Amino acid sequence: MTDGDYDYLIKLLALGDSGVGKTTFLYRYTDNKFNPKFITTVGIDFREKRVVYNTQGPNGSSGKAFKVHLQLWDTAGQERFRSLTTAFFRDAMGFLLMFDLTSQQSFLNVRNWMSQLQANAYCENPDIVLIGNKADLPDQREVNERQARELADKYGIPYFET
C-alpha cells in the first residue's frame, strides 16, 4: 500500500504509567523488533502500520478485503505530560490501556487512567482494550490474571496479556 492507499484510517492511543511498556509494545507490533532498554517517551510519538482486514461472506466464503492504516499514538506516562496527553484523547478512535504485570502500582493506576479517558474521550463509550505487559517476566509478576480480568469485566472491556 502506498500513502493514501487505504480504505480506513484508525487512530489508537496507548495510555498507562511511565515504564509499563507502551513504546516497546508499539515497536514490537509495527516493526517486529524488541528493544529491552527503557526508552522514555517525551510528550507524544506515533508509529504506523498498514494491515488488510478480510471480511467473511454469507457462507463463510471470502468477503471484501479492506486496507487499514493504523496510527498508534504513544503517550508519555509521566504526570508532567498529562495535559498534553489528554489533548489527544478527542482524536483517538480507540484506546490501549496498559499496565505492567510486574507493578501492582501501575495496575492500581489503571483506574485513574480510565477516569481521565472517560472525561476526555471523543464519546461516552469509546473502544478500549486493557493490556497487561511484561508477561515474559513471571518471576517478577505482581498482578495476577484474575485481578486484571475482574477489572476488565467491571469496565466491560477485553483483556490481553503480552
The pLDDT assigned to 78 comes to 47
Q: Is 3 inside a domain boundary? A: no
* pLDDT tens digit sequence for 121-151: 878 888 999 999 999 999 999 999 999 999 9
Percent of all residues in the chain with a pLDDT value above 90, rounded to a whole number: 50
Q: Is 83 inside a domain boundary? A: yes
Single pTM value for the model: 0.82
Reported confidence tier of residue 7, pLDDT bands at 50, 70, 90: very high
152 CA to centre of own chain: 14
CA distance 30 to 24: 10
Q: Is 46 inside a domain boundary? A: yes
The domain tally of the chain equals 1
- The SS3 assignment for 94 reads strand
**CATH number of the domain bearing residue 77:** 3.40.50.300
Q: Is 2 inside a domain boundary? A: no
Q: Is 39 inside a domain boundary? A: yes
Q: Is 1 inside a domain boundary? A: no
Enclosing domain of residue 25: 8-161
- Sheet with 127-133: strands ordered across: 44-56, 62-75, 8-15, 94-100, 127-133, 159-161
CA distance 107 to 98: 8
* pLDDT tens digit sequence for 113-122: 999 888 888 7
Higher pLDDT, 159 or 34: 159
